[in-house]
Structure 1
Amino acid sequence: MEIKKSPKADLEGKKTTGLLIGFVLILAAMFVAFEWTERDKKVITDTGIVEPAFEEEMVPITEQQEQPQAPPPPPEAPKMEEVLQIADNDANVEESTIATSEEVGEAVVVVQQAPVEVEEEEVEEQQIFQVVEEMPEFPGGMAECLKFLAKNIKYPTIAQENGVQGRV
């Protein structure tokens, strides 16, 4: 059995030709749409808002007069810590009772001690360096640095295949 079809009715041969004609028409329409401009219109960028003009006022430089500073207040006296004596468990310790002022009925006498003067140590401020005396460098010098870089930098295989070159 043979296929009985006339060459005039075969649409498969004209399919690619129609597709190409469609692409050309669409590209032409896109080109016209992108290039479409109206040349008669004027663009006005003035919004009608005017900035107010400010005059800069020259303010004279004021200097403060140095006033003698009052000496800083004396530091607070450090609190005295109680020293505890720890007794052995085997030692015989006599128990004593302490009578409070409520039980005895006497007034409480407070003895004031003279404040202890503490000598202040002057702390030496750390000096801020503006210039470094010895610049940092790679251990072993510049030659070792270049050896390290040559050993550890891997050139990408994709860039080698495409022949891409350049500096990083």
Structure 2
Amino acid sequence: MELKKNPKKDLNKRSGVYFVFGLLLVLLLAFVALEWKTFDPETIYETSMNILESDIEEDPVEKFKIEQPKIKQVLPQEIKIEEDDVEIKETEILSTESDPETEIIEIDDVEVDEFIEEPVVNFMVIEDVPVFPGCENEKDKRACFGKMMQKHISKVFRYPELEQEMGIQGRVNVMFVIQKDGSIGDIRMRGPNANLEKEAKRIISKLPKMTPGKQRGTAVKVPFAIPITFQLQ
């Protein structure tokens, strides 16, 4: 048996009209919501002017008295007139010309102190590098020197307490000279804090005496630079 639909009961008959009507209603509500305006309540007075005259403080006006500058009277210098009988001492002008009787000293007779500049050879180019105690039998004495320097710094290193509490850290660049007798001298340093520099100087001053560096068989001064890092863990 075939089912038949009643045209009057068909719900999809006017669905397009209902859809267009709903769409227009939504667009109308959206337009009204966007165009809706609100205004602050009007006031009949200005709040910024609501101040009493007694509440306004006036800055005191200071009065200055203008004084006339004092003009110092300068009197002319008194001219003293001497009598003709007074004896006037004349200034003796010495001659700048040489006296023939003056003895001339020969150049050979003049003693001149000779200044001999001591040679300074860089650590990286010197023939025989300074030997750190304990590196005498090592083949690569340069590498051993650097290794022993780091070991010495770690051994005597001490972080200043005040800088630890304040969180101050940084790197101190230190330069010193290994003298011709193997001692340490001319320590110079630059860092972010005076106490860190002082500690770096103390560490380098604790270095042991070394075998001096030699250039062409002669002991010479050898400068060496190393950074010391102060870092909080």
User: Larger % of strand: which?
Assistant: 2
TM-score relative to the length of structure 2 = 0.21
Q: Which has the higher contact order (CA 8 A, sep 6+)?
A: 2
